[in-house]
Amino acid sequence: WVEHSGSFFKRHAAPKNITILGAGVIAFAIAGIASEAGATVTLVQHNHVALRGFDPRLVQKLITNLAKQNVHVVFDDELARLDRNPAGLQVTTVSGAQWTTEAVYAALGRLPNVDDLNLEAVGVTTVAHGIQVNDYLQTSNPDIFAVGDCAAVMTPKLANYAIFQGKYVGDLLTATPRFPIVYPLQASAVFSLPRLAQVGVSVAVARQNPSRYTLREIPLNGWLTYQREYDDQAQLIMVVDQQSGQVVGAEAISNQADVLINYLALLIQQHVTPTQLHDTFFAYPSAAADLYGIWTD
């Protein structure tokens, strides 16, 4: 009765009431989509942490906004049992809470689906987290490579990492000499309501190292780009390295936070200076044009 999170996207009709197990990126994405379609959504999280790695204050803004869209987050609780009744599925949690839902989706992370591949026959070693690879994404069989969720590497199990790894292996097969994979600055987004995105050094890490990083908080709800969309939640937090004075990370919450973070990823990774940005021409009015003010504040 508990379906994989991917099953949600294959449904031909949207349920009116769903329950999601987990409070990560996929859980909040499904919650946003379902609530936009008119569903009531309940997220159940075993502890009191949602969207680990993002700034808790921005996460709370997201949760508060979602609550207005009939999305409710239940913390410090877990699914105990499911029973079918005439109205659907009755959820009972460890704490004793109960409610009826049409569907239950698990968004608790991914497990590598490699057990039936008979990899031992071709000399490929597997471990608890998937297929063992080296710094070249090469398995114990030098002619076989593994990328994405099935590869046992210490990177987030997100599509952009899988795509990057796939491009790396494609380039590696034609490269001379070969170089180990080096990941660029991490960028990720939560496609919920509103969107939450980050790049580089996280706000959480910066708060833990106040002697190294300074936080620059910029309310964006007064900017023309966000006023046009009535985006009252829009906010940006930039992480500045105190020694170099360079921006090394950022987190944003807005209806187009992913777009802003992608712009900032380019500026940060290419070490673009305020002067270089000043001499760059952007279409107006657009979110890119806002960079003039953001990068020089």
In tens, the pLDDT along 223-241 reads: 989 999 999 999 999 999 9
Please report, to the nearest 10 degrees, the dihedral formed by the alpha carbons of residues 250, 253, 259, 265 taken in order.
10
Burial letters for 255-275: b for 16+ Cβ neighbours within 10 Å, e otherwise?
bbbbbbbebbbebbeeebeee
Q: Is the pLDDT of residue 296 over 80?
A: no
Q: Residue 50's pLDDT is what?
A: 97
Burial letters for 174-201: b for 16+ Cβ neighbours within 10 Å, e otherwise?
eeeeeeebeeeebbbbbbbbbbbbbbbb
Q: Residue 286's pLDDT is what?
A: 87
> Which H or E run includes 169?
helix 159-172
- Give CA–CA dist 2/91, Å, rounded: 11
In tens, the pLDDT along 125-146 reads: 999 899 999 999 999 999 999 9
CATH superfamily, domain 191-296, is: FAD/NAD-linked reductase, C-terminal dimerisation domain (3.30.390.30)
- HSE-CB at 193 with a 13 A cutoff on CA atoms is 18
Is residue 99 exposed (0-12), middle (13-18) or buried (19+ Cβ within 10 Å)?
A: middle
In tens, the pLDDT along 45-56 reads: 999 999 999 999
- Selection from 296, 297, 294, 292 nearest residue 251 by Cα: 294
In tens, the pLDDT along 79-93 reads: 999 999 998 999 999
Residue 201: pLDDT band by 50, 70, 90 thresholds?
Answer: very high
Structure-token pair, residue 176:
């001379």
Q: Residue 297's pLDDT is what?
A: 57
- Give CA–CA dist 241/200, Å, rounded: 12
Is residue 30 exposed (0-12), middle (13-18) or buried (19+ Cβ within 10 Å)?
A: buried
221 contact partners, CB below 8 Å, separation of at least 6: 227, 231, 232, 233, 234, 235
Q: Residue 295's pLDDT is what?
A: 83
- Give CA–CA dist 287/42, Å, rounded: 33
Evaluate whether the domain defined by 115-172 bears CATH number 3.30.565.10: no
**Domain residue extents for the chain:** 2-106, 115-172, 191-296
* Helix (H) and strand (E) counts in the chain: 9, 15
What is the pLDDT averaged over residues 69-84? 97
Q: Residue 156's pLDDT is what?
A: 87
- The SS3 call for residue 214 is strand
Examine domains 2-106 and 191-296 and report if their fold is the same.
no
Does the pTM surpass 0.75? The reply is yes
Q: 120 phi and psi, to 5 degrees? A: -60, -30
Q: pLDDT above 70 covers what percent of the chain?
A: 99
What is the pLDDT averaged over residues 249-270? 95
> Which H or E run includes 33?
helix 25-36
Q: In one letter, which amino acid is 11?
A: R
Q: Residue 112's pLDDT is what?
A: 86
In tens, the pLDDT along 152-173 reads: 999 888 899 999 999 999 999 9
Q: Residue 273's pLDDT is what?
A: 86
Q: 75 phi and psi, to 5 degrees? A: -95, 160
Q: In one letter, which amino acid is 113?
A: N
What is the pLDDT averaged over residues 18-25? 96
Fold annotation for 2-106: FAD/NAD(P)-binding domain (3.50.50)
Instruction: Judge whether 146 and 131 are in contact, CB under 8 Å.
Output: yes
- Average pLDDT, rounded, for the chain: 93
Residue 251 bridge partners (DSSP): 198, 237
Q: Is the pLDDT of residue 64 over 70?
A: yes
What is the pLDDT averaged over residues 190-201? 96
